[in-house]
Amino acid sequence: DSGVTQTPKHLITATGQRVTLRCSPRSGDLSVYWYQQSLDQGLQFLIQYYNGEERAKGNILERFSAQQFPDLHSELNLSSLELGDSALYFCASSATGTVTEKLFFGSGTQLSVL
Amino acid sequence: DQQVKQNSPSLSVQEGRISILNCDYTNSMFDYFLWYKKYPAEGPTFLISISSIKDKNEDGRFTVFLNKSAKHLSLHIVPSQPGDSAVYFCAASHISGSARQLTFGSGTQLTVLP
């Protein structure tokens, strides 16, 4: 158990809809990362937050947004969903947000857009 | 453009033998490299890392080799055990603005046969 909690584990929705993925980091970790893993693809970095502030942005679509709340949990919002958004979405956390630290990953949210 | 490539989607080895997983990168700015292991229905877990100032790092049965001139790294597992069967992701990082980002490869499925 990594200590990172992601909910829900599975999500099935239709094109055009909006969903919210939730992540609770390990106790004490200030930084949260979101990654997307599509079929046969590596993990694509989406966005990183540190202590409530956006720290780094990757290939995150404009239809996607995220935030980190004062209690350090994070939410990833995906809107106007398309079939191609179907993927496994991982959240990870680390203590201070430097990439030389180990990242601790949650078990992911499997999103299926039908 | 894939900056981190794992060209072998799968690898099978016999228990007790050596497993060699390979990874190539194209971005010469990468200065820190990691391997993560992923079991089904779980998030990736950190395995081993290496800084660009070294060419080898060892941790028990796991050794990572870095060849900077060839922009190539490899993970050696000796001896391989059935519990090592998992997907292995290579990842690399470089300073991007005020933060470091991890770029992952697409993964190699290792199967260790008893």
DSSP string, B43-73: --EEEEEEETT-SEEEETTEEEEEETTTTEE
Sorted by sequence, the CB contacts under 8 Å of residue A68 that are 6+ apart come out as A32, A49, A50, A51, A52, A53, A74
Q: Tell me the pLDDT band of B99, cut-offs 50, 70 and 90.
A: low
Q: How many CB atoms sit inside 10 A of residue A14's CB?
A: 10
Per-residue model confidence (pLDDT) at position B97: 52
Per-chain mean pLDDT for chain B: 92
B11 vs B48, B80, B92, CA distance in Å?
19, 12, 21
Interface of B with A (CB under 8 A): 2, 4, 6, 9, 32, 36, 41-46, 49, 51, 89, 91, 93, 96-107
Instruction: Please spell the DSSP secondary structure of A12-24, one letter per residue.
Output: EE-TT--EEEEEE
Beta bridge partners of A32: A49, A93
Residue of higher predicted confidence among A100 and B6: B6
- Structure-token pair, residue A54: 């956006």
CB nearest B106 (choices: A4, A42, A97): A42
Per-residue model confidence as pLDDT tens digits over A3-59: 999 999 999 999 999 999 999 999 999 999 999 998 877 899 999 999 999 988 888
**For residue A62, with 0-12 CB atoms within 10 Å meaning exposed, 13-18 middle and 19 or more buried, which class applies?**
exposed
- Burial class, B41, CB count within 10 angstroms (exposed 0-12 / middle 13-18 / buried 19+): exposed
More confident residue, B97 or B70: B70
Mutate to test the interface with B, among A2, A26, A43 (most CBs of B within 10 A): A43
Q: DSSP string spanning A63-92?
A: TEEEEE-TTS-EEEEE-S--GGG-EEEEEE
What sign does the CA torsion over A22, A25, A30, A35 have? Answer: negative
pLDDT tens track for B4-13: 999 999 999 9
Q: What is the pLDDT of residue B101?
A: 77
Least confident of A56-60, B57-61, B95-99: B95-99
> How far apart (Å, rounded) are the C-alpha atoms in residues A89 and A78?
11
CA proximity to A111, closest of A5, A1, A22: A22
**pLDDT (0 to 100) of residue A97:** 78
- What's the residue count for chain B? 114
Q: Which residues partner with B108 through β-bridges? A: B88
CB contact under 8 A, B104 and A42: yes
